[in-house]
Amino acid sequence: MAAGGPRNVLIELNAVLVALIDDAPKVLTLEDGALLPSGPFETGHPTLQTGVRAWVERQTHHPLGYVEQLYTFADRNRAEAGTGRRTVSISYLGLTRERTAQGEREPGWQSWYRYFPWEDWREGMPGLLERAILPRLERWLAEARDPVLKRERRQRVEGNFDEKSWNEEAVLQRYELLYEAQLVPEAGRPRARIADPLPGAPMRYDHRRILATGIARLRAKIKYRPVVFELMPPDFTLGQLQRAVEALAGRPLHKQNFRRQVEQQGLVEETGASTSGTGGRPAKLYRFRREIMLERALAGTKLPITRS
Amino acid sequence: MAAGGPRNVLIELNAVLVALIDDAPKVLTLEDGALLPSGPFETGHPTLQTGVRAWVERQTHHPLGYVEQLYTFADRNRAEAGTGRRTVSISYLGLTRERTAQGEREPGWQSWYRYFPWEDWREGMPGLLERAILPRLERWLAEARDPVLKRERRQRVEGNFDEKSWNEEAVLQRYELLYEAQLVPEAGRPRARIADPLPGAPMRYDHRRILATGIARLRAKIKYRPVVFELMPPDFTLGQLQRAVEALAGRPLHKQNFRRQVEQQGLVEETGASTSGTGGRPAKLYRFRREIMLERALAGTKLPITRS
DNA sequence: TCAAAAGTGTTATCCTTACACCCATGT
DNA sequence: ACATGGGTGTAAGGATAACACTTTTGA
């Protein structure tokens, strides 16, 4: 079988490490936001999971609430291209609790909407979509001479970027479309940088792609698994919980429906206490019912669809 | 950090390759059903996807309709334990079309219910659940002395194996529970084989676990992506389509509701022809509308829940 | 003429969505 | 008193689940 066999292969780990800080979804980055944490897998560990956990917890000094594998790449790219050494990079999504009131912000936590500003619909459709993105995609359509290709491109743009058909889970597809249309800096060959890139900070290598994968996975997951709670403090109000889900999903939720669903699914229970630090009437405090994870094969946090 | 650095690492591929043959969901196996196809990744290929495609198509001589990564393991197990060589195994789910009327059956295709007989609820709850599995799990509960542990086990068993809470997607959780309860042969240490294993054929290494992952993924996927069509012939009747989905989901569907949903979602279109080989009234033939994959970010095949 | 599968019309129920409103606190 | 967020009742609409029935063929 061709040039197979053992070789110098490097196993690299990448982490999309998420925390909620002041109602903003943040990811841990290095190098002034240009990189996700990554490093070699320490072959001493018995399993990948334990290796990832140990490595991430050393980087962040936070216990890791939840870890999930995202994707494995083994593509020939990166610096190693010529060296005959192959890199397999295995990426993970991790959720952690960030103590917020600490005053001093830890560095490296960046809002993920810095990288994907078009993904934040909490205040309605972001202006830059209409202003900067859709016109550029329109131009990309126009570039296609072949009518079949043009039609295909139009359908993809409409299916992924239109206000009506907006699906907050399609983070990766949207990024890939922008990449293909050469609208993000990462798409340029080393020399030929993109002339006038879109708003949204780039990252080195394929790290923004990995981040998109992580966001997409998390947005999908919160709908059928109670993972939000890994990002919440032990006690929280329903308003806080709603804002957390909104921050992740990138869109506003309907208050009453959200509450009804959370309560009727038995996801939370009252602590008995309430808090008065919220600016209005004091809110009851709740905590996550951990038992639920055993009780049912799938416990979900459904997201009602509409505004305010 | 620690014992890291480049080492002799072997990249291995595993494939869960699925086809539908005579309304049975089949997987390609080797060694008389004891192994999934697996082999080294040929480092010549530019990307993993192309490597997998090439490798699988050489094994099966069938074009591969759909490929998706399942999971990556790098655990210290297998034969290489002492050799200092590490194996990273990357598993894939692949869907292919098997020409059925060929008369001569290709070898190696096994019904996946051979490995997971308790997962087939098309004719109602399988008798062996009540007869063989639930009593064993009951005994496993009884073994727990610690009341907390006992309660936890009970909740997991009830959440995953009960008739009422049965969730056909939880294939992996159920297998893992049986593994933990030492009811499958794979759970035994090399010497000490399980005394009286459950019905359901075992596989070598962790291959049955990988298969469970693949089935679970596919069962989840058919609900929101039109992947069933990768397993269907170009033209098919709605009855065939329904039996295909039932075979994968492992449970019966409601005819009218199934049809309504398929049609109203615009997933298929009539070919104009009809077939008379079905034993009763001739059925209209349909084909998949491939355009739909571009039109919408998510196109789904919803599964109505009930019997007959 | 009967078995077998295709194909259709209609209803009850529940969940989703949405509107409108009241409550308790700090300033 | 009023702004702010917490908290609730209820109704409209749509999707889901279910029932019962007709149609068209082959044996």
pLDDT at B215 over 80: yes
Tell me the three state secondary structure of residue B14: strand
Instruction: Verify if strand D has an atom below 7 Å from the CB of B302.
Output: yes
Best residue in A72, A162, A219 for a mutation probing chain B (most B CBs within 10 Å): A72
- Whether B284 sits with its Cβ under 7 A from any strand C atom: the answer reads yes
DSSP β-ladder status, A38-40 and A7-21: antiparallel
A259 CB below 7 A from strand C atoms: no
Cβ of A304 near strand D (under 7 Å)? The reply is no
Q: Which residue has the higher pLDDT, A214 or A84?
A: A214
Question: Residue A281 phi/psi, 5° resolution?
Answer: -60, 140
> What's the pLDDT at A83?
60
Average pLDDT, chain A: 86
Which range has the worst mean pLDDT, A142-151, A200-209, A254-263, B95-104?
A: B95-104
How many angstroms separate the CA atoms of B64 and B97, rounded?
8
List chain A domain ranges: 7-114, 119-200, 224-295
Asked if pLDDT for residue B177 goes beyond 90, the answer is: yes
Percent of chain A with pLDDT over 90: 57
Note whether A38 contacts B: Cβ–Cβ < 8 A.
no
Res A3: pLDDT: 41
pLDDT digits (tens, 9 = 90+) for B36-61: 999 888 777 778 888 899 888 887 77
Contact A59, A281 (CB under 8 A): no
Task: Compute the distance between CA of residue A6 and CA of residue A126 in angstroms, rounded to an integer.
Answer: 50
The answer to whether the beta carbon of residue B300 comes closer than 7 angstroms to any atom of strand D is no
User: A15 near A91, Cβ under 8 Å?
Assistant: yes
Residue A103 has pLDDT above 80, yes or no: no
Average pLDDT over residues A7-27: 89
In the three-class reduction of DSSP (H, G, I as helix; E, B as strand; rest coil), residue B210 is classed as helix
Task: Report whether A175 contacts A209 (CB < 8 A).
Answer: yes
pLDDT on residue B278? 75
Comparing A245 with B196, the larger pLDDT belongs to A245
Coil vs helix vs strand at B35: strand
Own/partner contacts of B155-162, CB < 8 Å, gap of 24 or more, are: B155/A291, B155/A294, B155/A295, B156/A294, B158/A295, B159/A294, B159/A295, B159/A296, B159/A297, B160/A297, B161/B129, B161/B133, B161/B134, B161/B137
- Domain B7-114 fold: Nucleoside Triphosphate Pyrophosphohydrolase (3.90.79)
Please state the rounded mean pLDDT for residues B239-262. 92
Nearest-neighbour CA in chain A from B300: distance (Å)? 13
Give the model's pLDDT for residue A272: 93
Which residues in chain A are closer than 8 Å to B156, comparing Cβ atoms?
Answer: 294
Among protein residues, the one whose C-alpha sits closest to the C1' atom of D23 is B281
Indicate which of B72, B78, B166, B174 best probes the interface with A, i.e. most A CBs within 10 Å of its own CB.
B72
What pLDDT, on a 0 to 100 scale, did the predictor assign at position B7? Answer: 54
Q: What pLDDT, on the 0 to 100 scale, is given for residue B87?
A: 83
Q: Facing residues of A20 across strands?
A: A25
- The residues, any chain, with a CB within 8 Å of residue B158's CB and separated by 6 or more, are A295, B165
CB pairs under 8 A between A and B: 131
pLDDT of the residue at A4: 42
Q: Please state, for a pLDDT cut of 70, what percent of chain A lies above it.
A: 84
User: Which segment of A161-165, B127-131, B240-244, B265-269 scores lowest on mean pLDDT?
Assistant: A161-165
Measure, in angstroms, how far nucleotide D18 C1' is from residue B256 CA. 10
Topology annotation, domain A224-295: Arc Repressor Mutant, subunit A (1.10.10)
* Cα B306 to the center of its chain, rounded Å: 21
Q: Look at A295 and B8 and tell me if their CB atoms are within 8 Å.
A: no
Contact, B242 vs B283, CB < 8 A? no
pLDDT tens for B23-41 read 999 999 999 999 999 988 8
Give the whole-number percent of chain B exceeding pLDDT 70. 84
Which residue among B48, B165, B291 places its CB closest to the CB of A297? Answer: B165
CB contact under 8 A, B156 and A294: yes
* Interface residue B3 vs chain A (CB under 8 A): yes
With distances taken from each CA to the C1' atom of nucleotide D2, the closest residue turns out to be: A280
